[in-house]
């Protein structure tokens, strides 16, 4: 058995377990971790989780717990290069690609920039990446994400007036079905009553159902 911390990456809601470092670490800390997409920065969502570690599936180490100086450097890099957003839009138009910009971030060394976007279908962006890399003189990565992931990054408030669930506390996305809608919104035909700011069925329909949420009238 081993102690693990849960790290949520910028690119999605799912939380991944990493080996808990010997140094002090707190919920809310930013850490650098090694992923299939190279090193990424994520935030710590829980600590001291006991997990079973096997030889086939060992927990990965956290590369580094970011210091205040590190996080300030990332903030300044993004602020100083805000013009990258306009360049991204211009290049997308030039390549006639159907994709919507969400956000961008730098690697800790400032040599790599990752652009996040949404699209209705898979996009062949290989030529766009090469073009952006040449102009920015950086290693460029593009990451497609879903509408719920976009909402988590952009943040906001739900119809209930509270911060959206995927930003405030949800750690995984459940399948939301129309059966849940029918159970909790009796007779409702108004899509706005059951849709979140992402345009998808509200995530709360799932956990409210599990906790015996009462039906709402239309």
Domain positions in the chain are: 2-66, 75-145, 158-217
Residues 34 and 83: beta-carbon distance below 8 Å: no
pLDDT band at 191 (very low <50, low <70, confident <90, very high): low
pLDDT of res. 19: 94
pLDDT in tens, 56-82: 888 999 999 999 999 999 999 999 999
Percentage of residues of the chain with pLDDT beyond 90: 49
Residues 6+ apart with CB under 8 A from 214: 184
Residues 145 and 114: beta-carbon distance below 8 Å: no
- Detail the DSSP E strand segments found in 74-147: 100-106, 112-118, 139-144
- Note if the pTM is more than 0.85: no
């Amino acid at each position: 058995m081993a102690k693990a911390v849960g790290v949520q990456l910028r690119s999605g809601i799912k939380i991944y377990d990493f080996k808990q470092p010997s140094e002090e670490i707190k919920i809310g800390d930013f850490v650098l971790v090694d992923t299939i997409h190279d090193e990424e920065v994520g935030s710590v969502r829980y600590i001291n989780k006991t997990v079973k570690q096997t030889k086939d599936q060992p927990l990965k180490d956290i590369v580094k717990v970011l210091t205040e100086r590190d996080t300030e450097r990332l903030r300044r890099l993004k602020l100083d290069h805000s013009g990258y957003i306009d360049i991204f839009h211009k290049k997308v138009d030039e390549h006639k690609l159907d994709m919507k910009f969400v956000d961008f971030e730098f690697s800790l060394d400032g040599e790599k920039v990752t652009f996040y976007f949404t699209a209705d279908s898979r996009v062949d962006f290989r030529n766009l990446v090469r073009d952006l890399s040449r102009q920015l003189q950086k290693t460029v990565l593009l990451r497609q994400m879903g509408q719920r992931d976009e909402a988590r990054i952009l943040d906001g408030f739900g119809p209930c007036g509270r911060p959206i669930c995927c930003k405030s506390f949800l750690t995984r996305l459940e399948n939301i079905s129309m059966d849940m809608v029918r159970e909790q919104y009796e007779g409702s035909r108004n899509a706005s009553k059951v849709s979140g700011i992402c345009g998808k069925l509200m995530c709360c329909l799932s956990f409210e159902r599990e906790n015996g949420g009462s039906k709402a009238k239309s």
